[in-house]
Amino acid sequence: MDRYLVFGHPVRHSKSPFIHTLFARQTQQELEYGLAEPAVDEFAQALRTFFDQGGKGCNVTVPFKEQAFTLVDRLSLRAKRAGAVNTIKLTDDGVLLGDNTDGAGLVADLKSHGVTLADSRILLLGAGGAARGALAPLLAELPSELVIANRTHTKAQQLAAEFHDLGPVTAQAYEQLAGPFDLVINSTSASLQGELPPLTPALIHTDIAIYDMMYGASDTAFISWAKQHGARQTMDGLGMLVEQAAEAFTVWRGIRPGTKQVLRELKRNLGVI
């Protein structure tokens, strides 16, 4: 049977095996999908061993995405732009192809929630790996403006300069942000510590869409905060998780699984519904 897995550390709580097993059942593909948690300095060896032993493809998550970028034979354009690899496929001619489906997953999830990106003003919070992966796919949707705000402002400036040729992207300091924005995407890891990015509540209005790339069994700190200040449409990163997985599955198997039912089952599994 064709073998796939996700590399990460820690990875025990990964939902990827659950999601891909449901995709395989739905599309009647014969495959198995597991977990691998190599020591941080043993990822390269573990990756080689997996493919030497017949593995067909893998996902890569924290903290290995940047390392995977340096270990594959060839990179897709979107992986090059993201500077990180979350999906690897062994091609029929034996080449290890590194891809990145995170940004496509974000855009697909936003669209599935009915969020209009064309001609919109988007505020992206954070300038780390998650923000970098989102930039090109967001700009490809032709927003009228994409503003990056980051705690360390110079990182936002660097990122804006790097993606400037792909669309109208600028960096603004948190305290200088000028609304109104149609969509705010939180790509920071602040919610992991229950913290909030230093955003003024004045930017929140009833018609704004709020997206937090993090997720949990209950609202993230950022989503709770936005709701408190009047945001009516809030979304967490669970849908992005399922959509990036669907994109990876499509890269591997050439068949696109449906995501709605799988997302519902995942929510049930997590106790969210």
> What letter would DSSP give residue 189?
S
Does position 150 interact with ligand ATR (CB under 6 A)? The reply is: yes
Cα angle value 175/178/183 (rounded, 5°): 105
Determine contact, residues 259/242, Cβ cutoff 8 Å: yes
Task: Tell me which stretch binds ligand ATR (CB under 6 A): 190-198, 204-212, 238-246, 258-266.
Answer: 190-198
Does position 147 interact with ligand ATR (CB under 6 A)? The reply is: no
Compute the least distance from the CB of residue 162 to ligand ATR, in Å.
14
* Helix orientation angle between 129-139 and 102-112, rounded to the nearest 10 degrees: 60
String marking each residue 127-146 x if it binds ligand ATR according to CB under 6 A: xxxxx---------------
Closest by Cα among 4, 194, 209, 25 to 110: 209
Q: Is 175 exposed, middle or buried (0-12, 13-18, 19+ CB in 10 A)?
A: exposed
Compute the least distance from the CB of residue 213 to ligand ATR, in Å.
8
Does position 9 interact with ligand ATR (CB under 6 A)? The reply is: no
Q: Tell me which of 197, 237, 239, 257 binds ligand ATR, using CB under 6 A.
A: 197
Which of 141/212 has CB closer to ligand ATR?
A: 212
Does position 239 interact with ligand ATR (CB under 6 A)? The reply is: no
65 is catalytic: yes
Compute the least distance from the CB of residue 185 to ligand ATR, in Å.
12
Q: Which of 15, 65, 111, 260 is catalytic?
A: 65
Which of 95/173 has CB closer to ligand ATR?
A: 173
Cα angle value 90/26/255 (rounded, 5°): 40
Residue 60, beta-bridge partner list: 7
- How big, in percent rounded to 5, are the helix, strand and coil portions of the chain? 45, 20, 40
**Site residues (vs ligand ATR, CB under 6 A):** 126-131, 150-152, 155, 187-190, 195, 197
Residues with active-site annotation = 65
